[in-house]
Amino acid sequence: MLKNKKKHMENKDNQFHEEFIDNTADAAEVQESMAVSEEVESPEKVLKEELDLANEKYLRLYAEFDNFRRRTSKERVDLIQSAGKDVIKSLLPILDDFDRAFKSFEGKENDPAIEGVILIANKFKNALTQQGVKEMEAIGLPFDADLHEAITNIPAPSDDMKGKVIDVVEKGYYLNDKVIRYAKVVVGA
Protein backbone atom coordinates (compact mmCIF):
# COMPACT_ATOMS: atom_id res chain seq x y z
CA MET A 1 0.00 0.00 0.00
CA LEU A 2 2.83 2.24 0.74
CA LYS A 3 4.11 1.56 -2.72
CA ASN A 4 0.72 2.49 -4.15
CA LYS A 5 0.64 5.68 -2.17
CA LYS A 6 4.13 6.49 -3.27
CA LYS A 7 3.21 5.82 -6.88
CA HIS A 8 0.07 7.85 -6.53
CA MET A 9 2.07 10.73 -5.10
CA GLU A 10 4.60 10.49 -7.90
CA ASN A 11 1.76 10.56 -10.45
CA LYS A 12 0.30 13.63 -8.78
CA ASP A 13 3.71 15.29 -8.75
CA ASN A 14 4.19 14.48 -12.41
CA GLN A 15 0.72 15.74 -13.21
CA PHE A 16 1.33 18.94 -11.24
CA HIS A 17 4.71 19.35 -12.89
CA GLU A 18 3.15 18.90 -16.37
CA GLU A 19 0.37 21.37 -15.56
CA PHE A 20 2.96 23.83 -14.27
CA ILE A 21 4.95 23.48 -17.48
CA ASP A 22 1.76 23.89 -19.57
CA ASN A 23 0.71 26.96 -17.58
CA THR A 24 4.16 28.55 -17.85
CA ALA A 25 4.18 27.81 -21.61
CA ASP A 26 0.72 29.41 -21.89
CA ALA A 27 1.87 32.36 -19.85
CA ALA A 28 4.92 32.80 -22.06
CA GLU A 29 2.70 32.70 -25.16
CA VAL A 30 0.36 35.24 -23.61
CA GLN A 31 3.29 37.50 -22.75
CA GLU A 32 4.67 37.18 -26.28
CA SER A 33 1.28 37.95 -27.83
CA MET A 34 0.86 40.90 -25.47
CA ALA A 35 4.27 42.20 -26.47
CA VAL A 36 3.38 41.81 -30.15
CA SER A 37 -0.02 43.42 -29.64
CA GLU A 38 1.62 46.28 -27.75
CA GLU A 39 3.93 46.81 -30.71
CA VAL A 40 1.03 46.74 -33.21
CA GLU A 41 -1.31 48.80 -31.09
CA SER A 42 1.06 51.58 -30.13
CA PRO A 43 -0.84 54.84 -29.65
CA GLU A 44 1.09 56.65 -32.38
CA LYS A 45 0.30 53.94 -34.89
CA VAL A 46 -3.38 53.89 -33.93
CA LEU A 47 -3.61 57.67 -34.24
CA LYS A 48 -1.82 57.61 -37.61
CA GLU A 49 -4.27 54.99 -38.90
CA GLU A 50 -7.22 57.07 -37.68
CA LEU A 51 -5.75 60.18 -39.31
CA ASP A 52 -5.25 58.34 -42.62
CA LEU A 53 -8.82 57.07 -42.46
CA ALA A 54 -10.17 60.55 -41.72
CA ASN A 55 -8.14 62.03 -44.59
CA GLU A 56 -9.44 59.39 -46.98
CA LYS A 57 -13.05 60.08 -45.90
CA TYR A 58 -12.46 63.81 -46.35
CA LEU A 59 -11.06 63.35 -49.86
CA ARG A 60 -13.97 61.12 -50.88
CA LEU A 61 -16.49 63.59 -49.49
CA TYR A 62 -14.76 66.50 -51.23
CA ALA A 63 -14.72 64.62 -54.56
CA GLU A 64 -18.38 63.70 -54.18
CA PHE A 65 -19.30 67.32 -53.46
CA ASP A 66 -17.25 68.53 -56.43
CA ASN A 67 -19.07 66.06 -58.71
CA PHE A 68 -22.42 67.22 -57.31
CA ARG A 69 -21.50 70.87 -57.94
CA ARG A 70 -20.46 70.17 -61.54
CA ARG A 71 -23.57 68.10 -62.24
CA THR A 72 -25.94 70.73 -60.87
CA SER A 73 -24.24 73.57 -62.77
CA LYS A 74 -24.46 71.53 -66.00
CA GLU A 75 -28.13 70.80 -65.35
CA ARG A 76 -28.73 74.50 -64.69
CA VAL A 77 -27.06 75.47 -67.99
CA ASP A 78 -29.07 72.83 -69.86
CA LEU A 79 -32.28 74.07 -68.25
CA ILE A 80 -31.55 77.67 -69.22
CA GLN A 81 -30.69 76.68 -72.79
CA SER A 82 -33.81 74.63 -73.27
CA ALA A 83 -36.22 76.67 -71.13
CA GLY A 84 -38.24 77.89 -74.12
CA LYS A 85 -38.15 74.53 -75.90
CA ASP A 86 -41.90 73.94 -75.70
CA VAL A 87 -42.72 77.46 -76.92
CA ILE A 88 -40.26 77.16 -79.80
CA LYS A 89 -41.64 73.73 -80.75
CA SER A 90 -45.12 75.23 -80.93
CA LEU A 91 -43.81 77.96 -83.30
CA LEU A 92 -42.23 75.53 -85.78
CA PRO A 93 -45.50 74.81 -87.66
CA ILE A 94 -45.79 78.58 -88.29
CA LEU A 95 -42.31 78.50 -89.79
CA ASP A 96 -43.43 75.61 -92.02
CA ASP A 97 -46.43 77.67 -93.16
CA PHE A 98 -44.11 80.54 -94.11
CA ASP A 99 -41.98 78.13 -96.16
CA ARG A 100 -45.09 76.87 -98.01
CA ALA A 101 -46.13 80.47 -98.64
CA PHE A 102 -42.69 81.23 -100.11
CA LYS A 103 -43.12 78.36 -102.57
CA SER A 104 -46.47 79.74 -103.69
CA PHE A 105 -44.99 83.26 -104.09
CA GLU A 106 -42.38 82.18 -106.65
CA GLY A 107 -42.54 84.52 -109.63
CA LYS A 108 -44.63 87.13 -107.77
CA GLU A 109 -41.93 88.85 -105.68
CA ASN A 110 -42.79 92.35 -106.97
CA ASP A 111 -46.15 92.48 -105.18
CA PRO A 112 -45.86 94.78 -102.09
CA ALA A 113 -48.08 92.48 -99.97
CA ILE A 114 -45.86 89.50 -100.74
CA GLU A 115 -42.75 91.55 -99.92
CA GLY A 116 -44.31 92.39 -96.52
CA VAL A 117 -45.01 88.71 -95.79
CA ILE A 118 -41.42 87.81 -96.78
CA LEU A 119 -40.11 90.57 -94.50
CA ILE A 120 -42.19 89.28 -91.56
CA ALA A 121 -41.10 85.68 -92.22
CA ASN A 122 -37.43 86.72 -92.27
CA LYS A 123 -37.79 88.61 -88.96
CA PHE A 124 -39.50 85.56 -87.46
CA LYS A 125 -36.68 83.26 -88.65
CA ASN A 126 -34.04 85.67 -87.31
CA ALA A 127 -35.75 85.81 -83.92
CA LEU A 128 -35.74 82.00 -83.72
CA THR A 129 -32.11 81.88 -84.85
CA GLN A 130 -31.15 84.25 -82.04
CA GLN A 131 -32.78 81.82 -79.59
CA GLY A 132 -30.56 79.00 -80.87
CA VAL A 133 -32.85 77.38 -83.46
CA LYS A 134 -31.10 75.99 -86.55
CA GLU A 135 -32.61 74.31 -89.57
CA MET A 136 -31.48 70.74 -90.23
CA GLU A 137 -29.94 70.01 -93.63
CA ALA A 138 -31.07 66.63 -94.95
CA ILE A 139 -31.34 66.41 -98.76
CA GLY A 140 -28.52 64.38 -100.29
CA LEU A 141 -27.20 63.18 -96.92
CA PRO A 142 -27.24 59.52 -95.83
CA PHE A 143 -30.32 58.55 -93.83
CA ASP A 144 -29.62 58.84 -90.09
CA ALA A 145 -32.25 57.45 -87.72
CA ASP A 146 -30.95 59.77 -84.96
CA LEU A 147 -31.88 62.83 -87.04
CA HIS A 148 -34.45 61.72 -89.60
CA GLU A 149 -37.84 60.07 -89.58
CA ALA A 150 -38.41 58.08 -92.78
CA ILE A 151 -41.89 58.56 -94.22
CA THR A 152 -41.41 56.33 -97.24
CA ASN A 153 -38.88 54.75 -99.57
CA ILE A 154 -38.90 55.38 -103.31
CA PRO A 155 -36.66 54.00 -106.05
CA ALA A 156 -33.46 56.02 -106.11
CA PRO A 157 -32.93 58.09 -109.29
CA SER A 158 -29.29 56.91 -109.34
CA ASP A 159 -27.20 54.31 -107.57
CA ASP A 160 -25.34 56.92 -105.52
CA MET A 161 -28.64 58.13 -103.97
CA LYS A 162 -29.50 54.71 -102.48
CA GLY A 163 -29.86 55.04 -98.71
CA LYS A 164 -29.76 58.83 -98.93
CA VAL A 165 -32.44 61.44 -98.33
CA ILE A 166 -34.15 62.38 -101.61
CA ASP A 167 -36.84 64.76 -100.36
CA VAL A 168 -37.85 66.48 -97.12
CA VAL A 169 -41.57 66.46 -96.26
CA GLU A 170 -41.15 68.39 -92.99
CA LYS A 171 -37.94 70.13 -91.95
CA GLY A 172 -36.10 69.17 -88.80
CA TYR A 173 -34.69 71.70 -86.33
CA TYR A 174 -32.01 71.91 -83.67
CA LEU A 175 -32.18 73.97 -80.49
CA ASN A 176 -28.64 74.62 -79.19
CA ASP A 177 -27.35 71.55 -81.05
CA LYS A 178 -30.08 69.26 -79.69
CA VAL A 179 -32.77 67.90 -81.97
CA ILE A 180 -36.18 69.41 -81.13
CA ARG A 181 -37.93 68.08 -84.24
CA TYR A 182 -36.83 65.24 -86.48
CA ALA A 183 -36.89 65.79 -90.24
CA LYS A 184 -39.57 63.74 -92.01
CA VAL A 185 -37.87 62.49 -95.15
CA VAL A 186 -38.21 60.32 -98.26
CA VAL A 187 -35.33 57.84 -98.61
CA GLY A 188 -34.00 56.34 -101.84
CA ALA A 189 -34.13 52.55 -102.03
Mean pLDDT computed over 142-162: 86
Dihedral sign for Cα atoms in the order 124, 129, 133, 135: positive
List, for residues 43-53, the tens digit of each pLDDT value: 889 999 999 99
Average pLDDT of every residue of the chain: 80
Task: Look at residue 59 in the predicted model and tell me its pLDDT.
Answer: 94
Amino acid at 117: V
List, for residues 97-117, the tens digit of each pLDDT value: 988 888 888 777 677 888 888
Which residue would you say has higher pLDDT here, 187 or 30?
187
In this structure, CATH architecture of domain 82-188? Roll (2.30)
**H or E element in which residue 183 lies:** strand 183-188
For residue 56, pLDDT over 70 is answered with yes
Mean pLDDT computed over 50-69: 94
Task: Look at residue 116 in the predicted model and tell me its pLDDT.
Answer: 84
Mean pLDDT computed over 63-82: 89
For residue 24, pLDDT over 90 is answered with no
pLDDT interval class at 68 (50, 70, 90): very high
For residue 6, pLDDT over 60 is answered with no
pLDDT interval class at 2 (50, 70, 90): very low
pLDDT interval class at 15 (50, 70, 90): low
32-36, 116-120, 132-136 — which is least confidently predicted? Answer: 32-36
Which residue would you say has higher pLDDT here, 110 or 61?
61
Q: Which of 158, 159, 134, 160 is nearest to 147 (CA)?
A: 134
Task: Look at residue 103 in the predicted model and tell me its pLDDT.
Answer: 85
Would you list the domain boundaries of the chain? 2-79, 82-188
What is the pTM assigned to this prediction? Answer: 0.56
Q: Which distant-in-sequence residues (6+ apart) come within 8 Å of 179 by Cβ?
A: 136, 146, 147, 172, 173
